[in-house]
Chains A and B, each alone.
Chain A
């Protein structure tokens, strides 16, 4: 037997299209056992393809191997530690997959008559109630389908609220530590972004906020804890300033995992909150697939919520759940149908599994884990190269600066991140937030063991020792991944995003 020609791509480099052979199939259709009918009776010619879709033609084993191969080229939460700051990569319990796959959930059709989908509507209503309680804001819409979509909904609600009162405001304030989606949302909603500075403790610069808050400001968008992983103790004063000029206060729920059951955005004075069900509430992240970014709002914002709303109505025959379209001041629909239902099932299963005390414990352990890992990384051998950017007790995540590492060892944060992959660890978020030089944003979450955190700290220390000996090792990492260091600049300038057929 001779090996394949060395010029051919390795077998695992070939795409499913390159494996295609005309006529090959992964299944055999059974013989027709009903009367044949002409195609034109079933589907008019004008609605049919003139040529078949150019799908790959492969056998079942090749098809299975294709997906299996793709799954192995990915680094996922079921593979290893994934401390990607601000993303809350907590474990996705397998029980949730089982309940989402129950036929009544998985086979629900979006056009199902609401009288025949009472169980699903009840689940949605219960989830609305639970999220409202967690946020401290009573009115919830499940419709937005991502965190950024929830942000857009929140800013559109703000606009509707001001315009209903005859006010046309032009600006939205965001802190300079904000997630990039905040300014993007503001711009998309037609407002001008005005940045507010950060004080020496990593919180909002209250004097700067006071100087910029005027009658043209529609809203302040804030996360608390902030993107630096720090709780802003001035939140009551911030709320007072924002409300004092008639603006709304928007809570970006990205960092909700630090505070569930401990404090509530509504109690801090926020008007609008979005949740990332894929962060705090265990919907698997991934691949641009279905997400959910529900919003909770205060009484004064309620009239403008998207429609339809899931409502509960009680009469002589008992309680019924309905889709309420009669919302005259609503900003309207944000998408087709009612949102990504499978996400609601998983997040509702999570909330019911943990209960109020369990959610609180999850947040407490998330904060404890972050502080434990930070304490390990403050030890000699690491702290002199990767100092913490704001040295306070952190919440669920923290930021280190790789500036001394770059200066003294000659490796950048990017090099450290790539080298971590060789140890089976996903790198933390890097180069964000922007105001910290060579930033690493680390969020371990509550679902990791003490031993995993200790191993991560040991790996970081080992990479730094190795770099002191030979920085080239980290500079050329990774070595053990399906592909080596990618040329990010070329990928941005000359993206190859399709395979010509």
Chain B
């Protein structure tokens, strides 16, 4: 994806992660800014299904041609699904960070945590 984009309807964490809420579960991924800063992603190391993740803490690793980086959970909960397609095609994180590049689905632990996240406009303002 060549140009920056930050879709409305997603919630954003300052560590450059997004969450899409769907009832009691949410889908997580990293933002356009994050994938652009990383450069070409060559490996995604996902968590196990069933693992508990905590808001603000690392739940997975991405390796790009530049560095290995932690992926930060925007919300707390239990991993119910991981994007298995990223094992063979981690470049989807670059090509389609909000679509095919999604990383995990999580059963949310605390709906109140969403109050601490930003909308697209606030996140973009933070990027400066």
Binding site for B on A (CB under 8 A): 414, 431-432, 434, 437, 488-489, 492-493
Contact = CB atoms under 8 A, between A and B. Distances in A.
A493 B67 contact: no
Interface residues of B, number: 12
A489 B66 contact: no
Contact of A488 (B37, B40, B67): B40
21 contacts: A414-B39, A431-B39, A431-B66, A431-B67, A432-B67, A434-B67, A437-B37, A488-B40, A488-B65, A489-B40, A489-B41, A489-B42, A489-B65, A489-B91, A492-B42, A492-B43, A492-B63, A492-B65, A493-B42, A493-B43, A493-B90
Contacts of A431: 39, 66-67
Interface in B13-47: 37, 39-43
A81 B48 CA distance: 48
Q: Which 10 A-B pairs have the closest CB atoms?
A: A489-B40, A492-B42, A488-B65, A431-B66, A493-B42, A489-B42, A489-B65, A434-B67, A492-B65, A488-B40
B44 to A, nearest CB: 11
Interface in B62-78: 63, 65-67
A412 B108 CA distance: 39
- Chain B's interface: helix, strand, loop or mixed, by majority? loop
Contacts of B40: 488-489
Contacts of B91: 489
B113 to A, nearest CB: 24
Contacts of A493: 42-43, 90
B33 to A, nearest CB: 11
A492 B37 CA distance: 18
Contacts of B63: 492
B112 to A, nearest CB: 27
A493 B64 CA distance: 10
Contacts of B90: 493
Contacts of A414: 39
Contacts of A432: 67
Contacts of B42: 489, 492-493
Contacts of B41: 489
A498 to B, nearest CB: 20
A434 B90 CA distance: 21
A210 B63 CA distance: 32
B19 to A, nearest CB: 24
A185 to B, nearest CB: 16
Contacts of A434: 67
A493 B41 CA distance: 10
* Of A414, A431, A434, A489, most B-chain CB atoms within 10 Å: A489
A434 B63 CA distance: 14
A414 B41 CA distance: 15
Nearest to A493: B42
Interface in B83-108: 90-91
Nearest to B42: A492
A432 to B, nearest CB: 8
A177 to B, nearest CB: 13
A488 B43 CA distance: 12
